[in-house]
Amino acid sequence: MIQKAATLPTDTSKEAAEVQAEALRRMGLSGRAELTMQLCDNLREITKAGIRHRHPDYTDQQITQAYLRLILESELFQQIFPNCEILV
């Protein structure tokens, strides 16, 4: 099996990258999947916090709509929320 050479991040030493890679290998597929889901949840909450900061008057429903406005294509968003003029 041919493996591609991994590119090291510019802010990480080779030794640190090797430690991280080994930790990820030890986690196994299910552990990495769980970590990925946690990171997605964290990103969603950080994004919603940013919307809440910019629009403190928004209700929880409006924050969710603004979040969806960010992640969905315009056409799909308008199909789901016709005539919604929510700001992000």
Q: Which residue has the tokens 């005539």?
A: 83
Q: What was the pLDDT predicted at 6? A: 62
Q: What was the pLDDT predicted at 77? A: 95
pLDDT single digits (tens) 16-75: 989 999 999 999 999 999 999 999 999 999 999 999 999 999 999 999 999 999 999 999
Q: pTM of the prediction?
A: 0.74
